[in-house]
C-alpha cells in the first residue's frame, strides 16, 4: 500500500460519503471503498434497513461491487478503506476476498474484530494476513456515528 497520507484521507472521505448514504436511510452510518492502483473499484454502505438484509454491511457491499467490476473473487493488490473497524463477519469476508490491505477510521469497541474484541486480520494461525492501518480521519468517522446514536436516543 503505497498511498500518501493525503491520498488515504481522500479515499476515506469517499468512504464517509458512502456512510452519508446510509444515514439518509436512517441506518448506522458506515461506508467503505475498495481501491486498486489508485482507482475506486468498489463502494458500499451499511444497507441493512434499506435492503432488509442482515449481512449487508458496508464492506460486504463494497466487496460484492469490486468482485463484479473485477470479474474476480480475488481482490489482490487492493486496499479496503472503511470508516469503522470491521466486525467478525466482514473481517472474514476480507480474508476470503484476499484483500491485502485494510485502512479503517475509528475503532468499534463493541463489535470490532480488527484489534478491539478480536484480531482476525493479523492472527498468525490464519494463512491470510492483512496489513492494517487505523486512525485515518478517525474523528470524522467517529463523529458521524456518535451523531447518529445521539439523534436516535432523542427519538
Q: Which range, of 6-14, 41-49, 86-94, 97-105, touches Zn ion by CB under 5 A?
A: 86-94
Which residue matches cell numbers 434497513?
49
If one asks whether residue 120 binds Zn ion (CB under 5 A), the answer comes out as no
If one asks whether residue 57 binds Zn ion (CB under 5 A), the answer comes out as yes
If one asks whether residue 87 binds Zn ion (CB under 5 A), the answer comes out as yes
Q: Mark whether 59 is an active-site residue.
A: yes
Query: How many amino acids of this chain bind Zn ion (CB under 5 A)?
Result: 3
Got the DSSP string for 65-130?
Answer: HHHHHHTSS--TTEEEEEEE---HHHHHHHHHTT--EEEEEE--TTT-TBTTS-BGGG-TTSS---
All cell numbers assigned to 121: 486480520
Q: Identify the residue among 90, 114, 120, 136 touching Zn ion (CB under 5 A).
A: 90
Beta-sheet pairing, 31-36 with 78-84: antiparallel
Looking at the DSSP assignment, which residues form a beta bridge with residue 84? Answer: 106
CB nearer to Zn ion: pick between 15 and 90: 90
Annotated catalytic residue within 59, 64, 124, 131: 59
Contacts to Zn ion by CB under 5 A: 57, 87, 90
Amino acid at each position: 500500500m503505497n498511498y500518501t497520507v493525503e491520498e488515504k484521507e481522500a479515499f476515506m472521505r469517499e468512504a464517509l460519503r458512502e456512510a452519508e448514504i446510509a444515514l439518509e436511510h436512517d441506518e448506522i452510518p458506515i461506508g467503505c471503498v475498495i481501491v486498486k492502483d489508485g482507482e475506486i473499484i468498489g463502494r458500499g454502505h451499511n444497507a441493512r434497513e434499506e435492503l432488509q438484509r442482515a449481512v449487508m454491511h458496508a464492506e460486504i457491499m463494497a466487496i460484492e461491487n469490486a468482485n463484479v467490476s473485477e470479474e474476480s473473487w480475488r481482490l489482490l493488490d487492493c486496499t479496503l478503506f472503511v470508516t469503522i473497524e470491521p466486525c467478525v463477519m466482514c473481517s472474514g469476508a476480507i480474508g476470503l476476498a484476499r484483500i491485502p490491505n485494510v485502512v479503517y477510521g475509528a475503532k468499534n469497541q463493541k463489535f470490532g474484530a480488527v484489534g478491539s474484541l478480536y484480531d482476525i486480520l493479523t492472527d498468525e494461525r490464519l494463512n491470510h494476513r492483512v496489513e492494517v492501518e487505523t486512525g485515518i480521519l478517525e474523528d470524522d468517522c467517529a463523529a458521524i456515528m456518535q451523531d447518529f446514536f445521539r439523534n436516535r436516543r432523542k427519538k
